[in-house]
Structure 1
Amino acid sequence: MQFEKNVQVKQPKYQQIAVDLASKIVERKYRIGDKIYARSSLASQYNVSSETARRAIAVLQDLEIVEATKGSGVIIISYEKAASFVRQFQDVQSVHELQHELMTSIQKQHQELINLQDKTKQLISRTEHFRSVNPFIPYQLEMTAESPCINQTVQELNFWQNTSSTIVGIRRKNELLLSPGPYVSLEEGDIVYFIGNDESFARVQSFLYPN
């Protein structure tokens, strides 16, 4: 999954100018009936082309904030509609800011996920290496009531013959029985420790819990 970095949402220049003019109207820097700059003066003030200035005026005119007539220029006609336009613009900006924050958060989580995956791979690799150089680290399984092997001895179960694994210890409550031998029975709650090859755990689990 790829994300664009440092995405910034910007309004067109003419719309920014229209919002700025509307804000000045709301702040009463212009009064109803006042004339605002001619198109050429507006272009010079905002350092844009005359066409960009014309578009800004057109936005305000379409929203009935100003009225443009030949000979009279551009005249302020509505505070209320200017205020509505400014609020709408601010709401849009808030949405864009939230989208940007959300994208930033997703990017951060994505990077954290990549880091977690890398750490997990390293852990698995090192664990496999550690087990390969230390083959006698025992596996362990707990005996529960679901096992049909409860209360049977290691010998009765033919444990080694059926699993190719050797029981090296049994933890029973607070006691640890080392090398328990063939005559010890497996009881509910026992933790059975055994050694074998890479397939031993699956074989023992299937043997102790066939269902």
Structure 2
Amino acid sequence: MEKARYQEIAIDIAHAIMMGEYHEGVKIHGRSTLAGRYNVSPETIRRAIAVLQNVGVVVVSQGVGITVTSKAMAEKFVKSFDQKGEIQVFVEDLKKLMDQRRETDLKIESHLNKFLGYTERLMSRWMDVGEIEIGKTSPAIGKTLRELKVRERTGTTIVAVVRDGFEQFSPDASLVLRGEDVLLVAGSAEGQEKLRSIL
């Protein structure tokens, strides 16, 4: 939002009017003189004067030149650019805050994705339930769940035992296994495979 050179010149002339360098009703130097003073082309001076004429600071008359018409409008014009500067600072601060918010949003999204991934793995661990039948020659027959130490050895949990068509949920650790019992096991596929090898 860097001001164009003609805008800077318009502000400078308006400021000079504010400070009393040019008085109302007084003719300002010609375009050529101003062009030399500011080291710019006459076209740049024409644009600067056009801005000042548009806001009522000066009037340009054929054969007369550039005449100051209103010190009050010059003050208003300069203040308006000061306000624009303040607005520019505000906009820049707002952009920085928006950038910081985007960065924060990205961090939140990253943490949320990690959390969701962790939750999915945790839920899949406990929702992956398999059935394992105790064979007639299984070494687990006659042993209690406590003796088998299923959780410690495999990381799985026996959530139910199906015996003679009846389901016993949350079986007691003192339950003695029998042949043809069906165990409902919650845990990872790897853990269930370890339990099968034990049974």
TM-score, normalization by structure 1: 0.51
Mapped pair 1:118 → 2:122: no
2:94 to 102, 119, 130: 102
What residue identity is the alignment partner of 2:56? E
How many residues align? The count is 141
Contact 1:167 1:180 in 2 (8 A): no
Question: What do residues 158-210 of structure 1 show as CA deviations (whole Å, max 9, x unaligned)?
Answer: x6369x9x869xxxxxxxxxx8889xxxxxxxxxxxx9347xxxxxxxxxxxx
Counterpart Cα distance in 2 of 1:81 and 1:28: 14
SS in 2 for 1:74: strand
1:31 pairs, out of 23, 26, 29, with 23
Task: Give the aligned partner of residue 83 of structure 1.
Answer: 75
Alignment-derived partner of residue 62 in structure 1 = 54
Q: Cα deviations across residues 36-64 of structure 1 (Å, max 9, x unaligned)?
A: 33212322333332112101111212222
Query: How far off its partner does 1:14 sit?
Result: 2.0
1:79 deviates by: 0.6
1:42 to 31, 34, 38: 34
Structure 1 stretches of 4+ moved >4 Å: 122-125, 128-132, 179-182
- Amino acid paired to 2:100: K
- Partner SS, residue 22 of structure 1: helix
> Structure 1 residue 130: deviation in Å?
8.4
Question: 1:110, CA displacement in angstroms?
Answer: 0.3
Q: So what's the TM-score if we normalise by structure 2? A: 0.54
Distance change (3 Å), C-alpha of 1:120 and 1:69: same
Aligned mates of 1:124, 1:64 — CA distance in 2? 64
The structure number with the bigger radius of gyration is 2
- The alpha-carbon deviation at position 106 of structure 1 amounts to 0.6
Identity of aligned residues (%): 27
Change (3 A) 1:167 1:70: same
Which structure 1 residue ranges, 5 or more long, are not aligned? 1-8, 137-158, 169-178, 183-194, 199-211
Q: Is 1:14 paired with 2:6?
A: yes
Structure (1 or 2) with the greater helix fraction: 2
Unaligned runs of 5+ in 2: 127-158, 176-184, 189-199
- Equivalent residue, structure 2, for 1:175: none
**What do you get for the CA RMSD once the two structures are aligned?**
3.8
* Letter paired with 2:160: W
